[in-house]
Every structure is written in structure tokens, then in C-alpha cells.
Structure 1
Amino acid sequence: MKKTIPSIPTPSVLLVLTTTLLLLLDILVAEPRTEMVQITCGNQLEHNSTVFILNFIATMENIREQMGTTGFGIAVTSSGPDANYVLGQCYGDLSLLDCVLCYVEARSVLPRCFPTTAGRVYLDGCFVRAQNSSFFEEYTGPEDRALCGNTTQKDSAFQKSVRRAVLQAASDAPNNNGYARVQVPVSGTANESAYVLSDCWRTLDVSSCRACLQNASTSILGCLPWSEGRALNTGCFMRYSDTNFLNPEPQNGSSRGIITTIIVAKKRRGSNDAEKLAKILDDSSLNFKYSTLEKATGSFDNANKLGQGGFGTVYKGVLPDGREIAVKRLFFNNKHRARDFYNEINIISSVEHKNLVRLLGCSCSGPESLLVYEFLPNTSLDRFIFDSIGGKELNWEKRYDIIIGTAEGLVYLHENSKNRIIHRDIKASNILLDSRLRAKIADFGLARSFQGDKSHISTAIAGTLSQAADYADSIVTIAWKHFQLGTLEEFFDPNLMLHNYHDSSMKNDVLRVVHIGLLCTQEAQSLRPSMSKALVMLVKKDGHLAAPTKPPFIDEKTMELNDMHENPCYPLNASDSDSIATVSQSSFYPR
């Protein structure tokens, strides 16, 4: 996002920018077209959650780097049932910058298919497909289909222009690296045209591309007389419309270089949000220059990489004044999310508590969105408890302090902050530890301010894939079964080495904490204690605890917490068997 320039008197529909750009001119008027068209998921479940997730993250990052240089990428990680084969491609009229924006949007959607091993995401500007076996040469399949608009029916003249444009695009693309765009005026009208775009995946040869587009042409023409049609095929994409959705073509001979110019253009939708955000950040102490953070992290050198989650990669950095910081490089980087990005910053910066990671600022003036946090030397809790050596460093007393600190942080978010906040992604990797191993809750990438008049939000597990994997393994259910059988000690982490303690009070403390955890995960929402009550239970060790009831049933296909006792979940589109990623709503309060 460009830095806001002081306003000058102009008509409200005009935006006058005077700047020096190291960009292509067409970037200023291009659109990444990140609107969702369709997501389809496979039926085969992953084999090993941990391996599959690590392979998925590595493969998608590889694709992201390729998309930023060529607008296309393929990558393969590992082999066997947990392998990841991924293809990503932007349609031919997108600039490289808009291609990256479209890809990160598609990449954020694809995990909805977890825990299945396959998924396809069609956006209006790009396509991403992942699978655990090779598909790069496929061009047809049973999932090929047309999606038709259903708002406006057009006359015969428009239909004639569409047929001509579609057939022309299908003919031109195979001999033009798989890409074609066609505009055919509608006879008898002054300004109306039919606009068509066709794109084959670059892994196909000429004959396969031609066959795919012929199939796509046949199916998409079945959408007439509707004004919009899209063909979503295994090896290609095609779209027609009565609206010009195509990005302007770069001028002949244009290349990257310094362009100094005055541009007068219509103000783009969403630019007002971006301008407001830039002004607010410039007027506050939250703003960091992109160049400062880039230098602090050694140009985001892998040697400075601290970790990676579902929404971004975190790097260690050192500012010119010697301060150590943690810089989160966000995956989505969508310039159309200026308002959401500002709201997120506003939420995070408005809370201060000893058990919450402190936000130092952000940068949205460079080519990507960055968040800056305080640096915590002991990284995250998962680095200890999932490590055979590190786990022994955290005895029960230290773990208990971390549990209490985490609970106190959640109580503050739920009840004591200016805006009640639901984090929605609490897990070991989001509990950071300072130099004294005190807990600090991190990663508000999914945090949402909870207003008193809004009681309905999605109850889907909204966390990263590693969290989803934990749920898929039904850890809560396993703990519940041990509790029922009176064998909870078998569930304890052996790194605690409780057998070395002859005093039974420590084992009782551990049993009490697990008991409280089961109370917090009961199927009936009304029986679950609020976070403040849970904290009292943790601190007041002699208090009576009710017997927990069973935890909720967890649907591993949708990753929904299905509260069968009080809130049966119904998919919004139960008849749609194409996508496993369903959505449901139920009453949800911060507890």
C-alpha cells in the first residue's frame, strides 16, 4: 500500500497521486480478483497428521515463492500417503503483485479441506489444487462443471457474441501458453460487449489444453442466456460475462522501471479504508517502516525464523536501538483487507496484561503486512512439552504457573478488557514464555472483539492445522475415557516424572487440573464454567468439583464441535456434496 499523500481539492470521484513508483503502471488499476468461486474437497483422510501438516506448510510456502516470480508454481514434498503435490496458477491478466495477493487468499481457504488429502480452490483470479498423488497432467475429470450466474437473462444478440468469444478464446489459448482473452461487441448496442477469459494450467501440453477448453466451452455455453458463466475444469478455467472483469493489458515494451507521473483515476473501492488506516498509523507510534523491519530481520533470513503458523511466519529482528523484536509476516497480505487489518491492530493494541504478548506496532506501507511484537527468548510452550529433553525442564510447579498465567490472560480477554475478546486459537504454540518462563498468550490472528449485542458466531474450530490435528486425534475424548476408568495417571506426561515424588498431593494437583479441563470441554454449554470460575477452581485447590459430563462429538470432516446436547449444527447448504467445508452457527459466548 502506498503512503497516503496530503489531499488536494478534487472531485470526490477522482484520486490524484504524485509519486515515484518502482512498479508496473498497470498495477495501479489491476484487481487480484480474490472472490471465491468454489472449493471442493476429496474423501481420503490424511495418514499421519503431524507429517502431513509439515509437508503441506512446506509445499505451500514453496508455491508462494514461485507465484511471486512467474505467476505459476508446482511443488512436491515427500512421498507415500502423506505426500503433498500442489499446483497454483494465476490467470493470465493478473500482475505478479496481484497474483501473490490472490494466491495467499486461496492458500488460506484450502485448509478447510483438512483432514482430507485433496482440495481444489477456484477464485476469480487464480486456482490452487493439492493432493497426495500426482495430477499435473490431468485435464478432465468427473468434477468438471459449469457455474452459471442467475441474476440477469440476456437477449439473442448477447448470446451470439458470447458464443463467438468463447470459441475464439478456446481456439487461441492452446497456442498462446494456454491463455486467451476476447472481447466481442454486441451488435445493435452502443457499449455492450461479451468478455471471455480462458486459461489452461501450464503443466498441460497443447493437445491437452485444447481438449480441456473444448470441454469447458461446451459446458459454459450451457449457461446461456444468463449473463455470467464459469467453467471449472480439471485442467483449465473459463469465464464469460457482460461486465468487463479483465485487467488492462500492459503496454507494449513496458517493463519494471522508475515511472514518475501524475495519475488521475477513479477512486477504487476500499481505497478510503486504506487511506484512513495509513493516516491513523502515521499519526500513532504503532507505525514501523517496512525497510526498518526488513533490515532488522536480515531481509527475513531463514536463520532468523522463529516459527510458522497458519497465518504467518515469525522472524527475530534487532532494531537500530538494539531492541529485540518478533516480526510476523502475514500470509494473507490482502490489500483489500485494510479495514480488517486496522481492526485487528486496534484490538491487539488496546489490551495490556502481564500474560499477553505486547504488540509494538505494524507496517502496512510496504509490499506486505507485518506485525511487530515483543521478543520472548524462551519461544513457545510446545517447544518444551513436545520435546523429550525440554519437557524435563518444566516440572509440575512450572507447568502449574504457566496454566495459571494462561487462565489469568484469558479471564482478562473475556471479562476485564475494554472489548471482550475471544482468542479462538489457544494451543501450546500460542503460549509464549519469557525469560522467567511466565506465560504470555500470543497470536491474535483469529481474535475477535465480542460485542454484547452479538451472540452468534461460527463455532467451527478456527485454528491452524496443527490445532486441528490435535482435535482430530480426539485428545479430549481420550482423557475423558481415562477419567471414566479411573486411569488418568496413564495419561500423564512421563517427562513430569511423578513417580519420583512420594507425596501424593502433587499427583492430586495434576488430577484436579485435568478434571477442570474436562469440565471446560463438556458437551452441554450451560455446564461449562466461565474462565473466571475455572481460574478460581485452579487456585482454590480444596474447592469441590462437580463430576464432568462427556465432551462434545467432534466431526473430523468439518472440524465442527457438534454440541448434540443443546446446539445441533446444520450445514447452510446440506444439499451441496461438492465441498466438505460446511459452515454452521450456534450461540457462543466468551467463557
Structure 2
Amino acid sequence: MLPSGLLPLLLLLGFAASLISGDSDNTSPAIFLSVCGKNQTRDAEGFDVNFVESMEKIFQNISTSGFATSSSGDNPTVYGLGQCFSYLSPVNCQLCYSQSRVKLPLCLPSTSARIYLDGCFLEYSDRNVDADSVDASDAYACGNATIDEQLRPAFSNSTAELMGNLTARAESRADYYQVGSVEVSPDLTAYGMAQCWRSLNATGCKECLEKGRANIVGKCLPAGGAMAMNAGCFLRYSTEPFYANESSSAGGSGGDSSGKLTVIIAVTTVLGVLVAIGMAVLWWSRKSAYRRRNHDDGENSEIIRSIVKSHLSFKYEDLVKATDNFHQNNKLGQGGYGAVYKGILPDGTEVAVKRLFFNTRNWVDQFFNEVTLINQVQHKNLVKLLGCSVEGSESLLVYEFLSNTSLDHYLFDSFKKTALTWERRFDIIVGTAEGLAYLHNASDVRIIHRDIKASNILLDEKFRAKISDFGLARYFADDQSHLSTGLAGTFGYMAPEYIVHGQLTEKADVYSYGVVVLEIVTGRKNQTSISASAEGHSLMQQQMEGTMCQKNPYSSRSNEISSSFAQVWQHYNSETLIRLLDPDLQGKCTDEEALKLFRVGLLCVQASPTLRPAMWKVVAMLMGAEKDLPAPTQPPFLNNRGGQRSGNGSEMSNSLSVSSKFPEASVNDISVSMFNGR
């Protein structure tokens, strides 16, 4: 069921698509073949991040050279290879790549995939594929078009000879590319092409082309068209001049090329305008729905007016220039849905530009949340939204620039962590609590963030905390006790009642916050993905390992902390919590100060949401208003039974058993489908 506000947007986009299809050179290129690998990554979140980084590197080069390879990350490393067929103009090469970039992520979390489009090829893998020429995934396709019976022998002989000549010439050319045609009769011409990826050597190219030629000539003729799609090359023949118009466009038929470029620019502009209008319609419909639920016309009208008055709209070209065309040197971070770049506006203002790819079904919801929710909340501990831009296949969000990036960059780096003094850590814990308390209670609408974690807590030049990334946030009315919604967030930070029942309250944020507090105090990272460790251990789940009887309360960190945060509860019961304090904080705070933060963290991660304190109460505890803190109850222990892929894109299912004091859950085995937080 489509959201009511989404239908006008889809209709507008459909109209834009019809405008584009009016020019045959500028339609979305047809997909000939898409192949998803059989193996799946064990680290879906890490793989997604490296995948986006690898695809971004290809984007930086393919539109200028027509070919690019890339690699990103380490364990897992994601390799990429992109090749535009040489008859494409640079503009159409970029358009073809954009289309393939949108479709290829549908194979995730597979560790490899490739896609062949009408004009380009794109592949990713967890191994280097640059030298692959042929493999078991090679395929060929014979067209349905038939040749007049009397002309079939001549057509078969001429086409076979043509493809033989093209493959022989292509392997000896620097760009491994050759096209040509042969006239069979006055009314029938055969057109052909052969293209190897430029990463191959001459031997590999020859091997690939020979296999492709043998398949389409030996198994498809006298069909009127065929194509071979191998690991390292592409061959095609047809009775239609599929490469002729593109070649003239790229080769210098001045008027024709100029006309096509004008159409591209015009259509792109129209599409950008229509998307903007569609988003405005969507915003208004969402606001109208909220108004009907809350019977508060004046409040929502004021929100709409504030958006208009805030000058949120940025020109796409200005942001491209501000980031030096999204240059790699300006990249601040990377997520599964896009990247963040530093930019400098003409007036010298430094900004952070979040670049989202229009490539998932959740894009509209996430963009809506980022723009509307964060625009209507203003707090010193929330990242300030400066504006946005929607154009073409991507959208841009403009935020205030924070020089110290995110908390995880410091907390989980053994060298940078020393900058996080006790005072700074305490201030970060308090600031994050104040920001969440504002979202839950003090803002105009109740907002649940849903993805509180160290990477979503940004730090300014004085290491003050600001909560960011509202793509998964949700708001609800005062008379609602909870929201029933699909799971979204980051495993290891998601509250157990949310996983089990899908019922969302502010206490889900409290749980996530408690995990972050324990991370800050111990200096250890919680497992954000069940597949991140061989045993599937996460913060509240591991059993006690090693001895707890040490003469020095700060000694033997390898024995006591290596088994991760699950020890927190056992150490609490044994009154030895101080042993889990980050060694970098030894002597920098009193035991009383440290134990207070440990207890606050444990209170926030209790299994029962009703026992977790509200965020305003957490602030009071931290600031000393609560002298005697209550005793926490046992947190939930989640035991992994292994994971398996769900049927959709980057969704992931894990089979879990829920044990411990968790009264809301009566089942032991559940299947969880969720989107990884970015």
C-alpha cells in the first residue's frame, strides 16, 4: 500500500520518464543481464559501506575515461569494475553508469554481482576481478527477431564472418573495441560490436571474445540478433544500428550532438523540478496527515511557513562547486545510503554536504525525515540542518560542519582516543542525553531517533556532542503509547522489545543510549552486527571469561575486557565494575564518578522498557539531582543462532533466542528482518 503522499510523486516521476523516453538516446538503458553471486557476506554493514565507497570511486572516473576499477576497505575489501562501451558519449556513459549503480545494490548482501546494460557493464566482488576473462557465470542470449527464410543462409554466413573480423581486430586495438556492419541485401544489414574490458591483457581479451563469438555464432544464428555477456567482454550483433547514433554523437556531428545534449539538459532540469514538486506534495500530504491526527492546523501551517522562510533550498551546482565536485579529498565519511563531504560556500561558510543516492525504496521516507523532522527541532545538541537540494538521481542535505567528525572516530581508535578526556566523555554523555530528552519531551512533536550509536554522535571543535542522522526517526502524537513499525536501526543497539514486537517507544532510544554510555566508559565497541564476530557475541550477551580476581583492579585487560561488554552485568553483581573502566581513564576520575556512569548505562539497558528511566530523568541522574540511583535489573541476553538472507536487497534476517528477564517476550525463536542503520 503506497503512502497517500507518495502517489503524486510517482506520477510526476512517471511523467518525467515519459519525457525522457521521447528521445531514444536518452531512455534509461535496458538491462540485458544481472547476476548475483551465491555467497553472502558475514559483515553486511561493513560490506555495504565499502561497496558504496568502491562505486563512488568508479563514478569519479568512468564518465571521463569510460573505464574504471576500484577497491575499498579492508576485511572485507570490495572491488569494482565499470566499463562503458566505446560507442557511448561521455554524457550517456554517465547516465548508463547511474542506472547500473541503482540496480546493482539489489544483489547485496551477495559478495559479488555483475550487470550488463545497453551501453555499459558494472561489477563488484570481494576479490579482485580485473583479470577475469571468462567464468562460470558467462551467458549469451539469442534474439527473437527472425530473418526471411530465403536470406537466412546469406545472413548467417555474412554475420559469422563479420563477428570473426570484429573479434580479431578488437583484441589488437588499444581500447579492445571494434564495430562494423555488412550488407546482406539492400533491405538487410547486420551490425556488430566487440568490446573487452580494458583491465584485461591481450591474451585474456582474445580468450573472452573467442568464447563469446562461438556462442552467438554457433548457437544463435540465423536469429536476427544475439549478445554474449562474459566476465571480461561483451559481443553483440543485430539488424538494428544499435551503435550508429551514439557513435556520431561522440564522434563529432556537431549539430546532432548539440541537439542531444540540449535535450539531456532540458529533460534533466524538468526531472529535477518535478522531483522537487513531488517532494513538496509529499511533505504537504505527510503534514496534512499529521494535522488530522493532532487536530492542529495552526501548528502545521507554521511548520510549512518556517520551511519556506528558512531558505532551505540550495542550488545543486553551488554544492557541487563547494565540494569540488565531491572530490575524494573532501569526503568526511561514508554510509550505505551515500557519503558526506566538506564544502565551502561562496561566503566562506564551511558545511557538510550529505549526498544520498536515489537507489532504494526507502529514499523518500528517509529524505522526508531528514528535512522535515530536523528542521522543526532546534537544540544545542542536535546537528543543525542548513538546507537541501533535490536534483536528478541524487539528493543533497546541507548541515553545519563539525570539525571533529563523529564519536566513533575517536572512541574506537587507540591513538585518537586519548583526546577523549574524562571531562569530555562526561560532557558527551550528558549532551547526548539532553538532546534525546529534548526530542522525546521538549520539542513540538515527540520524536524517536531509532539509530542512536557512536557514529551518529558528532563532535564540534570543543568536543561537544550533537546528534545527527534523522533518516530513520519517527514522530507520534501525545495520545499514542507506541508505534507499530518495521524494524530499522543497527543490531546491538536495538531494544529487545522492538525486535520482538516491532513496537516503538522512546524507551528504544533509551536502550541505545545506554549501550553508547557503556561504550564510552569502557572504551570498547559493541558488536553492531551479529555477523561481526564468529560467535555472534554482542554487548549484553557474552558469558564471563577469564578470572575476575586480580590484585590490581585495572590489570589483565586482555583477560577481563576481551570478552566484551557482557561482563558488565557479571562485574556489577560482583561489585568489580571498576575493572572494566577504560585504561585511558585510569587516575583521571574517581571510582564514584565512573561507577555512577556504569549504573546509568545499566539502568538504560534493562530488559523491561518500563524500568528504563526517561531521558529527562537520565539527565537529572547525571547532573546530580538523583543522589541515590536505583539498582538496575538484568539486561537481555541475545544468543545468535546464525543468520540468513532475507529476500529483499540489503535486508538481513537473523534467528535469535531471547533469554533473561524479558517479560514481554514469550517466544524463544524469532526471525528478524531489518534494515541496517547507516
The 1-side partners of 2:570 and 2:428 are apart by: 23
The 2-side partners of 1:242 and 1:58 are apart by: 40
Q: Tell whether 2:542 aligns with 1:481.
A: yes
Q: Tell whether 2:610 aligns with 1:509.
A: no
Q: Report the alpha carbon displacement of residue 507 of structure 1 after superposing the two structures with TM.
A: 1.8
Q: Counterparts in 2 of 1:107-506, with a 5 A limit? A: 119-124=112-117, 125-130=119-124, 134-146=128-140, 168-169=162-163, 171-176=165-170, 177-179=175-177, 198-205=194-201, 208-219=204-215, 231-238=228-235, 248-251=245-248, 253-254=251-252, 273-278=271-276, 285-297=311-323, 304-330=330-356, 332=357, 344-351=366-373, 352-353=376-377, 354=379, 355-364=381-390, 369-386=395-412, 387-392=416-421, 395-405=424-434, 407-408=436-437, 411=440, 416=445, 426-434=452-460, 437-444=463-470, 471-474=530-533, 477=538, 479-482=540-543, 483=566, 486-487=570-571, 489=577, 492-497=581-586, 500-503=589-592, 506=594
SS where residue 216 of structure 1 aligns? Answer: helix
**CA separation of 1:472/1:413 partners in 2, compared to 1, >3 Å: closer, same or farther?**
farther
The 2-side partners of 1:226 and 1:456 are apart by: 51
Q: Counterparts in 2 of 1:515-526, with a 5 A limit? A: 516-517=604-605, 519=607
The 1-side partners of 2:142 and 2:227 are apart by: 6
Q: Give the letter for the 1:494 counterpart.
A: P
Greater relative contact order (Cα 8 A, min sep 6): structure 1 or 2?
1
Bigger shift: residues 310-319 or 264-273: 264-273
**CA separation of 1:225/1:536 partners in 2, compared to 1, >3 Å: closer, same or farther?**
farther
Q: Give the letter for the 1:254 counterpart.
A: G
User: What's the CA shift string for 1:128-180, capped at 9, x where partnerless?
Assistant: 3455665433312233234789xxx7667599679976884565255244446
The 1-side partners of 2:586 and 2:475 are apart by: 41
From 71, 85, 92, the equivalent of 2:86 is 92
Q: Give the letter for the 2:121 counterpart.
A: F
Q: Give the letter for the 1:319 counterpart.
A: L
Instruction: Give the conservation status (yes or no) of the 8 Å contact 1:30–1:248.
Output: no
Partner of residue 67, structure 2? 72
Q: Where does structure 1 lack aligned partners over 5 or more consecutive residues? A: 1-10, 17-25, 520-526, 570-584
Q: Where does structure 2 lack aligned partners over 5 or more consecutive residues? A: 1-14, 281-306, 493-524, 544-565, 622-628, 658-666
The 1-side partners of 2:444 and 2:674 are apart by: 18
The 2-side partners of 1:497 and 1:67 are apart by: 51
Q: Tell whether 2:630 aligns with 1:542.
A: yes
Aligned length: 527
Instruction: Give the conservation status (yes or no) of the 8 Å contact 1:476–1:518.
Output: no
The 2-side partners of 1:212 and 1:415 are apart by: 63
**CA separation of 1:27/1:269 partners in 2, compared to 1, >3 Å: closer, same or farther?**
closer
The 1-side partners of 2:433 and 2:613 are apart by: 12
Instruction: Give the conservation status (yes or no) of the 8 Å contact 2:490–2:529.
Output: no
The 2-side partners of 1:473 and 1:204 are apart by: 35
Q: Report the alpha carbon displacement of residue 455 of structure 1 after superposing the two structures with TM.
A: 6.7
The 1-side partners of 2:591 and 2:40 are apart by: 48
Instruction: Give the conservation status (yes or no) of the 8 Å contact 2:138–2:231.
Output: yes
Q: Give the letter for the 1:65 counterpart.
A: Q
Q: Give the letter for the 1:392 counterpart.
A: T
**CA separation of 1:33/1:397 partners in 2, compared to 1, >3 Å: closer, same or farther?**
same
SS where residue 246 of structure 2 aligns? Answer: coil
The 2-side partners of 1:468 and 1:99 are apart by: 40
Q: Report the alpha carbon displacement of residue 72 of structure 1 after superposing the two structures with TM.
A: 0.4
The 2-side partners of 1:216 and 1:397 are apart by: 64
More helix by share: 2
The 2-side partners of 1:250 and 1:374 are apart by: 45
Instruction: Give the conservation status (yes or no) of the 8 Å contact 2:87–2:243.
Output: yes
Task: Give the greater-gyration-radius structure (CA).
Answer: 2
The 1-side partners of 2:323 and 2:425 are apart by: 36
Partner of residue 560, structure 1? 652
Instruction: Give the conservation status (yes or no) of the 8 Å contact 2:228–2:234.
Output: yes
**CA separation of 1:244/1:67 partners in 2, compared to 1, >3 Å: closer, same or farther?**
same
**CA separation of 1:77/1:321 partners in 2, compared to 1, >3 Å: closer, same or farther?**
closer
Instruction: Give the conservation status (yes or no) of the 8 Å contact 1:162–1:240.
Output: no
Partner of residue 19, structure 1? none
Identity %: 30
Q: Report the alpha carbon displacement of residue 83 of structure 1 after superposing the two structures with TM.
A: 6.6
SS where residue 348 of structure 1 aligns? Answer: helix
User: What's the CA shift string for 1:370-416, capped at 9, x where partnerless?
Assistant: 33112234421123312322232555532422442464477589994
SS where residue 477 of structure 1 aligns? Answer: coil
Q: Give the letter for the 1:510 counterpart.
A: F
**CA separation of 1:129/1:249 partners in 2, compared to 1, >3 Å: closer, same or farther?**
closer
Q: Report the alpha carbon displacement of residue 242 of structure 1 after superposing the two structures with TM.
A: 9.8
The 2-side partners of 1:82 and 1:532 are apart by: 37
Q: Give the letter for the 1:349 counterpart.
A: V
The 2-side partners of 1:104 and 1:448 are apart by: 30
Q: Give the letter for the 1:359 counterpart.
A: L
The 1-side partners of 2:407 and 2:641 are apart by: 27
Q: Tell whether 2:29 aligns with 1:33.
A: yes
SS where residue 215 of structure 1 aligns? Answer: helix
User: What's the CA shift string for 1:8-44, capped at 9, x where partnerless?
Assistant: xxx999969xxxxxxxxx9993345385943434759
Q: Report the alpha carbon displacement of residue 205 of structure 1 after superposing the two structures with TM.
A: 4.5
The 2-side partners of 1:115 and 1:402 are apart by: 36
User: What's the CA shift string for 1:432-451, capped at 9, x where partnerless?
Assistant: 23466554333456779999
Instruction: Give the conservation status (yes or no) of the 8 Å contact 1:230–1:238.
Output: yes
**CA separation of 1:311/1:219 partners in 2, compared to 1, >3 Å: closer, same or farther?**
same
Q: Report the alpha carbon displacement of residue 271 of structure 1 after superposing the two structures with TM.
A: 8.2
Instruction: Give the conservation status (yes or no) of the 8 Å contact 1:194–1:243.
Output: yes
Q: Give the letter for the 1:63 counterpart.
A: I
Instruction: Give the conservation status (yes or no) of the 8 Å contact 1:148–1:230.
Output: yes
Q: Report the alpha carbon displacement of residue 364 of structure 1 after superposing the two structures with TM.
A: 4.4
Q: Give the letter for the 2:207 counterpart.
A: A
Q: Give the letter for the 2:398 counterpart.
A: V
**CA separation of 1:170/1:367 partners in 2, compared to 1, >3 Å: closer, same or farther?**
farther
SS where residue 86 of structure 2 aligns? Answer: coil
- What is the TM-score with the length of structure 1 in the denominator? 0.65
**CA separation of 1:267/1:65 partners in 2, compared to 1, >3 Å: closer, same or farther?**
closer
Q: Give the letter for the 1:309 counterpart.
A: G
The 2-side partners of 1:445 and 1:471 are apart by: 22
